[in-house]
Amino acid sequence: MSNPNFIDYVKIYCASGHGGQGSAHFYRGRGIPKGGPDGGDGGRGGHVIIRGSSNFWTLLHLKFKKHIKAERGGNGSRGDRHGSDGDDVYIDVPLGTVARNGETHDILFEITEEGQEVILVRGGKGGLGNTNFKSSTNQTPRYAQPGEEGIEGWCILELKVLADIGLVGFPNAGKSTLLSVVSAAKPEIANYPFTTLTPNLGMVQHRGHTSFVMADIPGIIEGASEGKGLGHRFLRHIERNSALLFLVPSDSDDHLKEFDILKEELRLYNPDLLDKKVILGISKSDLLDDELTQEIHSLFPKEIEVVFFSAVSQQNIAQLKDTLWNALQ
């Protein structure tokens, strides 16, 4: 069963504020019936700003907030008074959030740091008052600029989980079991495919006081790069992992083929993913004897680091942690 509180995709309609109108006022005072222009400029419209916050881990707070609108700027007034700027609207998002154009799906920016602020839609500029248009040949301009209109449109926010190690494997490969053993995370574990439908994060304690973050990514199937099995939703969470641990169960019918399919799906989705450090883990190795272990090990190229382990019996778990830690250095 998936976690209903984990939301990694929202589509929101954002509208920035219109700019305030400039003033076409003329000064009037005692004894000065026909003073010069003194109309002030309009204030700018409010921006809609995305702000990174480590206090959030999901986009759940935006799931039911589909329309976000900033205030318009105040109009200019007499005495060359500038209109007030419209209040900006801040949208706090978890680190690892990507903003896209809602129509073209082009990436606008990414939020990766605490407190990082980026303007999603910019408020309209305030119009100029008639003071700006006076000259020696036009001493009484009776016009002023209107404020610039704000920008509005659909925007997409996607969350890509930030983790040091990403677990990659077919459904039922033992990813959730491994995470539950090496960390305090409690993902749902069951003997059927796609038990995990949302990423789970766990803090893995290593030797001394060191630690790293491991992400249990939902299972990948052949054709995931084309969207099969919710492939695009799952694969994007792998993009921000520093290293990848491919899991192939020891009872697989064809270990090398399964490994090659996983690599090919990553390559088709984003070739840059294969530039990451890759470790291959053969799970459920307590089912193997020494002869079968050597036979499976010989199937893979020598440059691939292979670790045989069993999460249930704790076999070689310490060795696996050492290998993952070294991959991050």
Q: What is the CATH number of the domain that holds 83?
A: 2.70.210.12
Query: Which of 108, 125, 159 is where one domain is finished?
Result: 159
> Is pLDDT at 271 greater than 50 in this prediction?
yes
- Do the Cβ atoms of 98 and 155 come closer than 8 Å? no
Residues 146 and 169 in one domain: no
pLDDT at 89 over 90: yes
AA identity, residue 238: I
Question: What count of residues does the chain have?
Answer: 329
Same domain, 154 and 12: yes
Cβ atoms of 40 and 78 within 8 Å: the answer is yes
Which CATH number belongs to the domain containing residue 251 in this structure? 3.40.50.300
Gap between the Cα atoms of 195 and 16, Å rounded = 42
Average model confidence (pLDDT) for the chain? 83
User: Same domain for 138 and 283?
Assistant: no
The candidate with the shortest Cα–Cα distance to 229, out of 189, 262, 260, is 262
325 or 193, which is more confident:
325
Q: Are residues 178 and 121 in the same domain?
A: no
**In percent, how much of the chain has pLDDT > 70?**
88
Q: Is 119 helix (H, G, I), strand (E, B) or coil?
A: strand
Question: In this model, does residue 4 exceed pLDDT 70?
Answer: no
Higher pLDDT, 297 or 193: 297
pLDDT of residue 73: 94
Using DSSP, state whether 38 is helix, strand or coil: coil
Least confidently predicted of 10-14, 51-55, 242-246, 262-266 = 262-266
Q: Domain residues for 179? A: 165-328
Q: What is the pLDDT of residues 135-181, one digit of tens each?
A: 888 888 988 999 999 999 999 998 877 778 888 888 777 777 888 88
Domain match, 19 and 131 both:
yes
Looking at the fold, whether 57 and 205 belong to one and the same domain comes out as: no
User: Quick one: pLDDT at residue 123?
Assistant: 94
Measured CA to CA, the distance from residue 206 to residue 298 in angstroms comes to 29
pLDDT score recorded for residue 2: 45
Distances (CA, A) of 213 to 161, 184, 244: 11, 11, 12
pLDDT computed for residue 167 by the predictor: 85
Q: Are residues 180 and 271 in the same domain?
A: yes
Statement to judge: residues 149 and 222 lie in one domain: no
**pLDDT for the residue numbered 295:** 86
pLDDT at 21: 93
What domain count does the chain have? Answer: 2
Residue entry with tokens 């990451």: 276
| Per-residue pLDDT at 231 | 46
Residue 233, pLDDT above cutoff 70: no
Over 90: is that where the pLDDT of 1 sits?
no
The pLDDT of residue 146:
92
Of 95-99, 227-231, 313-317, the poorest mean pLDDT is in 227-231
Greater confidence, 70 or 195? 70
Structure tokens given for 227: 């969207």
Burial (0-12, 13-18, 19+ Cβ within 10 Å), 290: exposed
313 and 263 housed in the same domain: yes
Whether the Cβ atoms of residue 153 and residue 13 lie closer than 8 Å to each other: yes
Same domain, 141 and 208: no
User: Does 47 score more than 90 pLDDT?
Assistant: yes
In 179-189, which positions are buried (b, 16+ CB within 10 angstroms) versus exposed (e)? bbbbbebebee
Reply yes or no on whether the pLDDT at 191 is more than 50: no
Same domain, 134 and 175: no
Query: Within a 10 A sphere around the Cβ of 307, how many other Cβ atoms?
Result: 19
Q: Give pLDDT, residue 188.
A: 52
Evaluate if residue 195 carries a pLDDT over 60: no
Same-domain check for residues 57 and 186: no
Return the pLDDT at 127: 93
Question: Which of 159, 181, 204 lies at the terminal end of a domain, its last residue?
Answer: 159
Distance, in Å, from the CA atom of 167 to the CA atom of 276, rounded to the nearest integer, reads 13
**Whole-number pLDDT of residue 185:** 64
Domain limit, last residue, from 129, 159, 189 = 159
Give pLDDT, residue 229.
46
